Amino acid sequence: MTQLHVIYEDNHLLVVNKAAGMLAQGDKTGDPSLVDQAKTYIKHKYKKPGAVFLGLVHRLDRPTTGALVLARTSKALTRLNAQFKNREPKKVYWAIVSGSPEQNAKLVHFLKKNSAQNKSYPQVKESKEAKKAILEYTFLKKLDSYSLLEIRLETGRHHQIRAQLAAAKLHIKGDVKYGAKRANKNGGIHLHARTLSLSHPTNKEIITFLAPLPDDKIWKACLSN
């Protein structure tokens, strides 16, 4: 199992940098999850007897990397859940895409989730099943065969970034489910939850967590001059 990469921890929070291919939470596959891994980490580090409490506050898709917040107490979980329900935390994603993005753009689609395929599809108009999805992206850098975008979400829909960028002919590198030509060797995609800002559940201080980029040459090129 991939080693847990801790970004921040205190008595109330554990913020980790999720690796590609890691489930955030256990599912029907029975594969190891980040929550299980984090519980083991807490149990061993603090020599805790019995079960360890860790609450998953939000999720990232299995092939996506980046900042993920876990609550270490029930009080923290309740307060963080309220923040995320009200869309108060500020999340910024980076994506490496093919195609020719405009310098900056706002994308609006109506996405319908197909649960059997675990995929979302853009529809012509809004309906009970097709929910409005809005994101804004900023062009950050041109790479050899790709472009680096910074993305901010106005809504939170299933596979929103992946589906909306694909609909705009901007396919995320490695995301064959949404039209990329080739899969990445590690099974992940080049979509990374780069920063996450939220109010600390007890002292109310606004904290911003920065998730280091995965260790591959294309991500490294994003930081080079």
Helix then strand then coil, in percent of the chain rounded to 5, is 20, 35, 45
Q: Is the dihedral of CA 171, 173, 176, 182 positive or negative?
A: positive
Number of CB atoms found within 10 A of residue 101's CB: 22
**DSSP secondary structure string for all residues of 145-167:** S-EEEEEEESS--TTHHHHHHHH
Angle value at C-alpha 93, between 92 and 96, nearest 5 degrees: 150
**DSSP secondary structure string for all residues of 34-97:** HHHHHHHHHHHHTT--SPPP-EE-S---TT-EEEEEEESSHHHHHHHHHHHHTT-SEEEEEEEE
Q: Active-site residue among 27, 31, 36, 61? A: 61
Query: Is residue 61 annotated as part of the catalytic site, yes or no?
Result: yes
Is residue 27 within 8 A of residue 56, CB to CB? The reply is no
Is residue 155 within 8 A of residue 168, CB to CB? The reply is no
Task: Point out the residues that are catalytic.
Answer: 61
